[in-house]
Chains A and B, each alone.
Chain A
């Protein structure tokens, strides 16, 4: 392993994050605060408790997941698309690094950034609502796995994208709807039975449900299935990336 190269890629990507600190850090904090003002106070005060949890607290795990997923996706996809776009990818391709090292460097950085943002939102939330985390280790595990798997998926999108429009396409048309409809702001038990069944085909439901379980001990689906789902998703993403580098698809002519 060329750990020196992994470190170089990782720290270079992290430097981009800190250089654009307003964009990468302040904007998620502001948007989270707005969610709390709107959902937590304005609307939330008129909503009853969900499964014994105040609505303001109930949406915290969903909000964190929502932000973490979109941030991991956009950071990772942009991180690898940008070198392709401006041509600096030549350096990666001609360097003595293999795909595992590139993925650890780029995906690792994107996952770290989104993890960081997730923790910041958790901290911001604590200012608005009373939070108790029932299973902190499980909470961290879900957070890490989500950051990782969505960064892997973002990496795939970044490699696949041929222009900026395509870069936005998957997050906008696929991921955002799945996240919003995945129970970020509601329990799926609130839905009519038919839609409950449909929702079970949404993979994001398992992530949000598991994450919420680690906070409040309540879940839409069994925690074991949640863990299995996120692990399977991670493995599938790794498999696709392995194939991309093996064939040189969209990167090496």
Chain B
């Protein structure tokens, strides 16, 4: 596989996190994130996405396991590891009375970078924040505040960027902007890890997708391969004349009747060696049905995701 020959920018090895209450937020997660890729972590609320990010960034301490960033252990060699990492948190955590520029300057300084207002100007312009540089953060709209969080994370030129639910509750325009920014960063070689509820977001920008639920990583796959491998497809056959029931000769096919008998739907699995389509079509002829149109529909990532999570919940029950 292409991914395995790339270098791991972030390496997570058997990382677990449990709390004093006994709650296990992460149950031995292992994952390599390659340099320059965009990885989307999908999962329902409370799945452990933010906990995982917090453990990598130093906000939480993992109970067990090893995490390295750029080859540096995040605990033993925390300075070298953290210098590489930018974090955009889920919550809008900003000092309300501070000016945008000062807040961004603080971030750059905290990460040990000398003051460089020319670079910060570039960052703020890229995020359409330059006009607001002297505005107090409390005066900004929600979307603008989120941009400030991104500007703070980018202010120290990170090589790995974590975006925790970056587009939760933002309007469509800002979401598109955010995707553009992510694409630009990727072009600069920045490794990007984003968590999201929005499947379409993962579908639109990720190279790989990880699904996490109840503290376990259920799978990590190249997005295209994932959709290919797991994607179930449907063949939709429109008839010239409606039928009242599925003809007897076709009863073995698990067909579904839709549109008042005008459409027959045949679900099949692209992974199988034989999809059964050829035989189905010829059996249609034998049953005396006249076909008007044929189309196929591929399941979205959302269907895959919901299927996986349901499967795990079913196992647990």
Contact = CB atoms under 8 A, between A and B. Distances in A.
B94 A4 contact: no
B82 A86 contact: no
B79 A91 contact: no
A87 B59 contact: no
Contact of B97 (A7, A19, A93, A96): A19
A5 B107 CA distance: 9
Contacts of B54: 253
A96 B82 contact: yes
Given A87-B93, A96-B111, A97-B110, A12 B58 contact: no
B212 interface: no
B75 to A, nearest CB: 11
B105 A8 contact: yes
A15 interface: yes
B145 interface: no
A86 B91 CA distance: 10
B58 A94 contact: yes
A9 interface: yes
Contacts of A88: 93-95
Contacts of B57: 93-94
Given A87-B89, A90-B59, A93-B58, 9 more contacts: A4-B113, A5-B110, A86-B95, A87-B91, A91-B106, A93-B57, A96-B79, A96-B83, A97-B110
A94 B59 contact: yes
Nearest to B108: A8
B109 A8 contact: yes
Contacts of A253: 19, 54, 59-61
A12 B106 contact: yes
Contacts of B102: 12, 15
A92 interface: yes
B189 interface: no
Contacts, number: 82
B78 interface: yes
A15 B85 CA distance: 27
The 7 closest A-B pairs by CB, nearest first: A8-B109, A87-B93, A95-B110, A96-B79, A96-B82, A94-B57, A2-B112
A250 interface: no
B59 A252 contact: yes
A248 interface: yes
B79 A2 contact: yes
A252 B83 CA distance: 19
Contacts of A93: 57-59
Interface residues on A, range: 20 to 34
Contacts of A5: 109-112
Contacts of B87: 90-91, 94
Interface residues of B, number: 35
17 contacts: A4-B113, A8-B106, A82-B95, A90-B59, A90-B87, A91-B93, A91-B107, A92-B110, A93-B57, A94-B57, A94-B58, A94-B85, A96-B80, A96-B82, A96-B83, A98-B79, A253-B60
A243 to B, nearest CB: 16
A86 B110 contact: no
Nearest to A105: B110
Interface string B14-29: 0000010000000000
A49 B17 CA distance: 66
Nearest to B106: A12
Contacts of B106: 8-9, 12, 91
Nearest to A97: B110
A94 B278 CA distance: 58
Contacts of B82: 94-96
Interface in B44-96: 54, 57-61, 78-83, 85, 87, 89, 91, 93-96
A96 B59 CA distance: 12
A4 B61 contact: no
B87 to A, nearest CB: 5
B208 interface: no
B159 interface: no
Interface string A60-97: 00000000000000000000001100111011111111
B223 interface: no
A9 B85 CA distance: 19
Given A90-B87, A94-B85, A9 B110 contact: yes
A156 to B, nearest CB: 21
A8 B96 contact: no
A248 B107 contact: no
Nearest to B87: A94
Interface in A163-186: none
Contacts of A91: 87, 93, 106-107, 110, 152
Interface string B297-317: 000000000000000000000
A12 B57 CA distance: 23
A97 B102 CA distance: 19
B212 to A, nearest CB: 19
Nearest to B79: A96
B57 to A, nearest CB: 4
Contact of A90 (B61, B81, B93, B113): B93
A252 B111 contact: no
Interface in B274-304: none
A98 B57 CA distance: 14
